Amino acid sequence: MRRYWRLVSWLLMGGCLFVVCCASSKVGLEVVNYVNQGILGIADLERRSLESYASVTGENYTTDQRVYEALKDQVIPVYKRFLDGLRNLNPQEKEIKKLHGIYIRGAELLYSGFKLKMVGIEKKDKNLIGLANEKIDKGRLENETWLKELTALSQQYGVVEEKKIKEKQKK
């Protein structure tokens, strides 16, 4: 789960930095809009949901009941709002549509994993909980892939981070 925290941190930090685009292409401009006007508008929902989940799992685990309540009251409802927002984003360029599809698949896996884990806890079924954890891990990996490909696409189309522009201006 620590890896997932890093992913969320990279997303928020990296997303906040994609402010300027020095690319001359439509794709480069859409990457900037996709992050700044799309992803950043819903990223806080994902962050809050994952923080709630991390607060009751891994090193923070105490009881199944506590995990169940967090899933029911915080994680699932907030993540659903994030997933709905993600589904409502509609990139136009082919490369970004493909990239966005990766993020949606990852988010859907996480969401269904959270729901399945709640059912598994409710039914005290270790097999369901195991399947849920597998879905959550697959979703996390998809989202890591999305972030790597977003970074590569940004570099390919000359999207420059605001931080790098300021460093160049100081020289």
Chain segment 108-126, per-residue pLDDT in tens:
999 999 999 999 999 999 9
114, 79 Cβ separation under 8 angstroms: yes
- Overall domain count for the chain: 1
21, 160 Cβ separation under 8 angstroms: yes
**pTM (two decimals):** 0.84
Domain residues for the domain of 14 are 2-170
- pLDDT score, position 132: 98
For residue 133, how many other CB atoms are within 10 A of its CB?
15
β-pairing verdict for 20-21 and 159-160: antiparallel
The partner residues of 20 in beta bridges, in order of sequence, read: 160
- Convert the pLDDT of each residue in 25-64 to its tens digit: 788 889 989 998 999 999 999 999 999 999 999 999 999 9
H-run or E-run covering 21: strand 20-21
